[in-house]
Structure 1
Amino acid sequence: MSNIIAIAIEKGGVGKTTTTLNIGAGLRQLGQNVLLVDLDQQSHLSRWLEFQPDGRPTISELIYQEVSHIHSNNYVDFIRHNEKENLDFIPANKMLGGIYAILGADGESNTVFSRIFRSEFFQQYDYILFDCPTAVDNLLVSNALQCSNKLLLPVQAELLAYEGVPAMLQRFMAIKQVRDICPFIQGLLVTMYNGRTNMSNEVYNTLFDSYGELVFKEAVPMLQEARNSTETRSSLVGRRSSKVGQAYMAAAHEIIRRNAE
């Protein structure tokens, strides 16, 4: 079975899409076959991966196909490939904003993604990463959490982001209908970390005190290179001089190690 990871947190601006791309690129460099799925109608991940409208179907059409019971095992037309990162991805566009009514019309609206991404076709991927929108109470996120066997939370090293972690975990626990959520947590990754500030250090230390080994050991530093990478449309894990890239590569190593245990 593929390792399906939802990358989600209810606070915006924490580096969620940056995390999705760099973790995906890091896993790919470590020999894993990876699929990224853009679930945000702003389509930042798709644009980062140089997606241009090409007349082929996106994640919106894939959802519509499943809800409409247009059963097909041929998902190839939904997949794009980014040569620079050597990554497969399913893009999003603004049409995704109108998909909620379609999802809600399904008799089992929280299981649409499970029916799609747990099909035989997608078993070719070692890892499937969902880049989730910020609003964690919508059906897209519910589907991603239901389908995923792991949740990765990017937590910005500031107080508001830290305070949003319990609500996210409770949401995930309710969807999974379990009392012990720990086996389903891929980890909490501290992002935008500035070791020279008391706030960053306090958030990191408090997270570690609260969640222990669920917190990734290496935090992602807050550096201009992360912002610049959105302009160059490339990950940072391939740059040996990049401290941000090194942190994400360390996280990719840790993900593989944790999933092998």
Structure 2
Amino acid sequence: MSSTPRIITIANQKGGVGKTTTAINLATALAAIGEHVLLIDLDPQGNASTGLGIDKRDRSSSSYDVITGALSLEEAAMATAVPGLSIVPSTLDLLGVEMEIAGTADRVLRLRNAVRASAARVGLYDYILIDCPPSLNLLTLNSMAAADSVLVPLQCEFFALEGLSQLLETVEEVHQTINPDLAIQGIVMTMYDGRNNLANQVVDDVRAHLGDKVYNTIIPRNVRVSEAPSYGKPAILYDLKCSGSQAYLQLASEVIRQERKLRAA
């Protein structure tokens, strides 16, 4: 286990691209490989929390408490059914947090300050993943300010590149003004259907534009992955052998190899 966790925010302002599914299953896959992982659910919808089996009635603490300073990161964290994976769940309270902190000088740095103040920063986790809301709002900016890098799920569809430039510009702006260590972790193509010629064209186009920033692993469109959240389970627990679960395990391996290269550099 590393002394300082790698903090990766999973962001895309476009909804329905597999962002939360990627957050849940990448976190689970990293834990399955033996890493110690904390997932911070920063989306008011709380789908990552639900997808990991955390009932809304059981969320006595949440990322809202962390952002407002009421609780530390470790006080808000809860164990999940996945060994090695904890979560700071989300509640609808997050919907109002932007109004509450909008007038404060550190409004963009609330999460970063909480992470840096936390004992979890040293020794407890190998990875901290942050699931963002599907918008470029104050919560997303908080996640980018706290993170080492941004992982972008991108759906294999015609409009895949639409909006990506805006997200990349936001990452660059945060890098220039708030967090000089922030970088693009990588782009992961999601919801891939190999029978669709357009999907193959989209993958080729994205690779042509972004080169080695695009992961080799492609996440297929998969019914079992779609079903899993309704059972409160990551796909890897719901059906380990399905193509989607296997792809997320491959993605986790790719992320770890990438991290080892970065740390060795």
- The answer to whether the Cα contact below 8 Å between 1:84 and 1:234 also exists between their aligned partners in 2 is no
CA distance in 1, matches of 2:241, 2:108: 43
Q: What is the identity, as a one-letter code, of the residue corresponding to 2:228?
A: S
What RMSD, in angstroms, separates the aligned Cα atoms of the two structures?
Answer: 1.9
Which runs of 5 or more structure 1 residues have no equivalent in the other structure?
A: none
Q: CA deviation at 1:159?
A: 2.0
Q: CA deviation at 1:254?
A: 0.8
Matches within 5 A, 1:1-261: 1-52=4-55, 53-54=57-58, 56-65=60-69, 75-84=73-82, 86-123=84-121, 124-136=124-136, 138-177=137-176, 184-237=183-236, 239-261=239-261
CA distance in 2, matches of 1:187, 1:139: 22
CA distance in 2, matches of 1:80, 1:30: 20
1:147-203 deviations in Å (ceiling 9; x for gaps): 11110000000122322211111111001108xx99711110000001111211111
From the superposition, tell whether residues 55 and 85 of structure 1 become closer, same or farther in structure 2 (CA, over 3 Å). Answer: closer
Normalised by the length of structure 1, the TM-score is 0.90
CA distance in 2, matches of 1:50, 1:146: 28
Which runs of 5 or more structure 2 residues have no equivalent in the other structure?
A: none
Q: What is the identity, as a one-letter code, of the residue corresponding to 1:260?
A: R
1:71-112 deviations in Å (ceiling 9; x for gaps): x7x543311111245420001111110000122122121111
SS at match of 1:159: coil
Q: After the TM superposition, which parts of structure 1 deviate over 6 Å for at least 4 consecutive aligned residues?
A: none
CA distance in 2, matches of 1:254, 1:11: 24
- The answer to whether the Cα contact below 8 Å between 1:48 and 1:230 also exists between their aligned partners in 2 is yes
- The answer to whether the Cα contact below 8 Å between 2:20 and 2:48 also exists between their aligned partners in 1 is yes
- The answer to whether the Cα contact below 8 Å between 1:85 and 1:234 also exists between their aligned partners in 2 is no
Identity percentage of aligned residues: 29
CA distance in 1, matches of 2:145, 2:59: 30
From the superposition, tell whether residues 93 and 240 of structure 1 become closer, same or farther in structure 2 (CA, over 3 Å). Answer: closer
- The answer to whether the Cα contact below 8 Å between 2:175 and 2:182 also exists between their aligned partners in 1 is no
1:105-145 deviations in Å (ceiling 9; x for gaps): 22121111111112341222111111100111x11000101
Normalised by the length of structure 2, the TM-score is 0.89
Q: What is the identity, as a one-letter code, of the residue corresponding to 1:62?
A: V
Q: CA deviation at 1:232?
A: 2.2
- The answer to whether the Cα contact below 8 Å between 1:24 and 1:129 also exists between their aligned partners in 2 is yes
Q: What is the identity, as a one-letter code, of the residue corresponding to 1:57?
A: S
From the superposition, tell whether residues 228 and 117 of structure 1 become closer, same or farther in structure 2 (CA, over 3 Å). Answer: same
SS at match of 1:177: helix
